[in-house]
């Protein structure tokens, strides 16, 4: 029997019961995949992060991520949660460390603040698929409960990835965004056809000071009806906005804040930084804060 330290954390927020909840198991060495899946299913967050000791000298720790139904290669809000817990428990100073996750070894910045920590993670390689057109586009629009008139015509429907792909769907109205009631069964079936599980509907029709975008993310194919605040959606969105000339920038870098989750009462803010070379996006970082809701132990 071993005692595992388990935390419930709200990410991309400093206010409890908002943002995106994630589970964190801080000392996961010894857990099997079956046990990790069982813990993730029991906690029933969209993702739970399991923190392991490093297995080589080129990284400081390993993290694996599980939804209630499957393992995923990376998760933004669970990464923020895991490093926030680790920094808080160990009273860490500001530093940059490296973690090994499903998409490779990447840096994470731990920035100590007066009221906690800001965690900034570098995301994986930026990849753009060809825009989705024809019947598949029509089916996605219909499954989301949208019409062609709702779409922002500047925004192609396109799969973008910084490690865990999402379909970007730009629409005109914040009011329409908040009122969406997608057909989850249809979205789940479409995921198998297009090879992408997450649908990120966003708008540039922002209404909060300092916020550029509002979004909602649906991924029923992997057991996530709606994810409150998604790092692996807002990050790729930053690259997408640059790619399609939707924002002004200096050709070297661009940063913005994306809000997500308000429609379901779990608003949170993702801070996105995009590095550019010759006007093209080449690297994305996302940052966020967090708050520990509770901690407990499990003996297995």
Q: How many CB atoms lie within 10 A of CB 108?
A: 24
47 classed as catalytic: yes
Report d(CA 257, CA 238) in Å as an integer: 10
Answer positive or negative: Cα dihedral of 293, 294, 295, 300.
negative
What is the pTM assigned to this prediction? 0.93
Pairing mode, if any, of strands 253-260 and 213-219? parallel
Which residues of the chain register pLDDT less than 50? Answer: none
Query: In this predicted model, what pLDDT tens digit does every residue of 182-194 receive, in sequence order?
Result: 999 999 999 999 9
pLDDT at 224: 86
Whole-number pLDDT of residue 222: 85
User: Of 15, 33, 42, 47, which one is the catalytic site residue?
Assistant: 47
Dihedral, 202, 204, 206, 210 alpha carbons, nearest 10: 110
Alpha helices in 90-230 (DSSP H): 134-143, 174-179, 184-194
What pLDDT does 207 receive? Answer: 86
Using DSSP, how many helices (H) and how many strands (E) does the chain show? 6, 18
pLDDT for 223 equals: 81
pLDDT tens-digit readout, 94-138: 999 999 999 999 999 999 999 999 999 999 999 999 999 999 999
What pLDDT, on the 0 to 100 scale, is given for residue 292? 98
Beta pairing, strands 61-66 & 48-52:
antiparallel
End-to-end CA distance of the chain: 5
Nearest to 164 by CA among 244, 242, 205, 106: 106
Q: What angle do CA 77, 261, 136 make, to 5 degrees?
A: 90
């Amino acid at each position: 029997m071993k005692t595992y330290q388990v935390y419930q954390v709200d990410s991309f927020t400093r206010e409890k019961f908002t943002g995106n909840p994630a589970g964190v198991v801080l000392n996961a060495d010894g857990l099997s995949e079956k046990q990790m899946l069982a813990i993730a299913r029991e906690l029933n967050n969209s993702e739970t992060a399991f923190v392991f000791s490093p297995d080589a000298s080129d990284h400081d720790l390993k993290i694996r991520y599980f939804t209630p139904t499957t393992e995923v290669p990376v998760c933004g809000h669970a990464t923020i949660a895991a490093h926030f817990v680790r920094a808080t428990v160990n009273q860490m100073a500001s530093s940059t460390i490296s973690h090994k996750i499903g998409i490779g070894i990447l840096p994470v910045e731990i920035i100590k603040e007066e009221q906690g920590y800001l965690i900034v993670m570098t995301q994986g390689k930026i990849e753009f698929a060809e825009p989705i057109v024809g019947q598949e586009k029509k089916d996605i629009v219909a499954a989301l409960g949208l019409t062609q008139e709702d779409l922002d015509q500047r925004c192609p429907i396109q799969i973008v990835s910084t490690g865990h792909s999402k379909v970007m769907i730009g629409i005109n109205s914040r009011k329409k965004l908040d009122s969406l009631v997608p057909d989850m069964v249809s979205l789940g079936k479409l995921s198998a056809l297009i090879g992408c599980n997450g649908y990120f509907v966003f708008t540039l029709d922002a209404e909060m000071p300092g916020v550029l975008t509002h979004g909602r993310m649906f991924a029923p194919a992997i057991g996530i009806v709606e994810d409150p605040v998604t790092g692996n959606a807002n990050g790729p969105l930053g690259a997408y906005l640059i790619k399609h000339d939707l924002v002004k920038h200096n050709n070297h870098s661009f940063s913005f804040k994306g809000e997500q989750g308000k429609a379901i009462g779990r608003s949170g803010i993702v801070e996105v930084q995009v590095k550019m070379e010759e006007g093209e996006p080449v690297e994305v970082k996302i940052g966020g804060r967090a708050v520990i809701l509770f901690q407990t132990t499990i003996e297995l």
